[in-house]
Amino acid sequence: MQDSLSFDITHKLDGTLARAGVIHTPHGDIKTPAYIVGGTKATVKALTPEQVSGLGGQAVLANTYHLMLRPGADIVQQAGGLGKFMNWQGPTFTDSGGFQVFSLGVAYKKGIDAVAHTEKGDADNANASKDQLVKVTEHGAFFRSHLDGSKLEMTPESSMELQHKIAADIHMAFDECPAPLAPRQYLEESLGRTHAWAERCLERHQTLNSAHAETGQPQQALFGVVQGARKEDLRRASAQFLGERDFDGYGLGGIFEPGEIPSVVRWVNETLPENKPRHLLGMGSQPADLFLGVEYGIDTFDCIAPTRQARNGAIYTYGGRINIKNQQYKTDFTPIDTDCACYTCVNYTRAYINHLFRADEILGATLASIHNEYFVVHTVDRIRDSLIDNTFFDYKKSFLLRYYKDNLPAGVTL
């Protein structure tokens, strides 16, 4: 077992920013590009860790904010860290809790896209809503728990302390994720705050890693998080600023509209150092996102959408997404997808899974989640293979035309 993170690039795709490689962590290697399975509260909803491993998941990502609330970072630390606590043997990530600055603030009760703010903005923009549960200052974020209303505080330093207690292999620096259409002045202020917080995160992280070294514990890695909304100059400036600091890799944060990945991700990855891994935070609810992210230089993704959609009966297939609860599947005794080799497709039929959902049986969510996670994980695995054997564009075209037919998402070119 190695005690720190390293990254090797093994293949590059000419004419693009795409690459294949390996991230080496203290708890195993991650072959990239890779889809990182969302395990928000130290669990992948409806699945056991053994099922996640069995479907091909290489790593899981948990949420610092939620683990801070329940069960508490101290308890995760007493259990031996995130991996031991949830019985996951492979590499682990944590995000910083920074997205909650956004989702409990300007976006609270408004929907996650936060498009309520126009370029002109509201009178007091990001911190005026009487409903929001967070206040942002230069020092950090001051929360009221969405669970019980208790007062909470998160700063760059406390985020690092929490993440080191949770003890994932890869952490994200504490950042602010502003509404993407907030006024330019606020976006600039927010970006300056994110950069100042990043430096404070890095300083505290390095101190904590020094303490780990003294006790023989593995080093934990820290990714700086690039912000800048939909502004090219801000995104490039953020990538430049963070790229000049001693981070182990980089996360790309923010809220994207359909079709924005090719531009925003390209701006960032053209500017960041080439020799460090890049993670696209919370992105991958559409298969097209995976191809676009890889093509423009992303190494890893995470998203909770596959299991969330599965629990609602929305199932990915190679011919497009279906709603397994629909009447037409009541007597369909074929697998969800005849081209899929997941546990669900090998053993169960659409009719049975339709029955489970209609009967409100928990097993329906489990079988659907196994399939959706397998679908996304293996799509990225095949993308990786196509980079290695130089068939990426052929695979991208055949997959996307089959999945979307004549309704390709915005920003997708074949």
**What's the number of CA atoms in the CB half-sphere (13 Å) around residue 329?**
23
Note the pTM of the prediction, 2 decimals. Answer: 0.93
Q: What angle do CA 212, 216, 222 make, to 5 degrees?
A: 35
Q: Which helix (H) or strand (E) holds 383?
A: helix 362-388
Is 80 exceeded by the pLDDT of residue 108? no
Is 60 exceeded by the pLDDT of residue 409? yes
CA neighbor of 247 nearest in space, from 270, 275, 266, 289: 275
185 against 285, higher pLDDT = 185
Cis preceding-peptide flag for 258 (omega within 30 of 0): no
Query: Domain segments of the chain: what residues?
Result: 6-303, 314-404
Is 90 exceeded by the pLDDT of residue 288? yes
Is 70 exceeded by the pLDDT of residue 241? yes
Please confirm, yes or no, whether 302 is among the known catalytic residues.
Answer: yes
DSSP letters for 246-303: --SEEEE-S---TT-HHHHHHHHHHHS-TTS-EEETT--SSHHHHHHHHHTT--EEEE
Mean pLDDT of the chain: 91
DSSP letters for 79-103: TTSHHHHHT--S-EEEE-SHHHHHH
* Beta-bridge partners for 252: 226, 280
pLDDT at 96: 93
Whether 209 contacts 219, CB under 8 Å = yes
CA neighbor of 230 nearest in space, from 94, 114, 111: 114
Q: What is the pLDDT of residues 140-153, one digit of tens each?
A: 988 778 788 888 89
Average pLDDT of the residues in 196-217: 97
d(CA 386, CA 339): 18
Specify the residue for token string 């430049």: 240
Give burial (CB, 10 Å; 0-12/13-18/19+) of 216. exposed
d(CA 104, CA 149): 12
Three-state secondary-structure class, residue 152? strand
Is 50 exceeded by the pLDDT of residue 125? no
CATH superfamily of 6-303: Queuine tRNA-ribosyltransferase-like (3.20.20.105)
Q: Which residue among the candidates 175, 289, 302, 337 is catalytic per the annotation?
A: 302
pLDDT at 133: 65
In this structure, what DSSP letter does residue 217 have? P
Q: Which residue among the candidates 74, 95, 148, 337 is catalytic per the annotation?
A: 95
d(CA 178, CA 182): 7
- 102 — pLDDT class (breaks 50, 70, 90): low
Is 60 exceeded by the pLDDT of residue 305? yes
Q: Rounded to the nearest 5°, which phi and psi values hold at 278?
A: -130, 130
d(CA 30, CA 51): 18
Specify the residue for token string 């990915």: 316
pLDDT at 116: 40
Token digits for 277? Answer: 């891994």
Q: What is the pLDDT of residues 353-392, one digit of tens each?
A: 999 999 999 999 999 999 999 999 999 999 999 999 999 9
d(CA 350, CA 372): 14
Whole-number percent of the chain with pLDDT over 90: 81
Average pLDDT of the residues in 265-276: 98
pLDDT at 99: 78
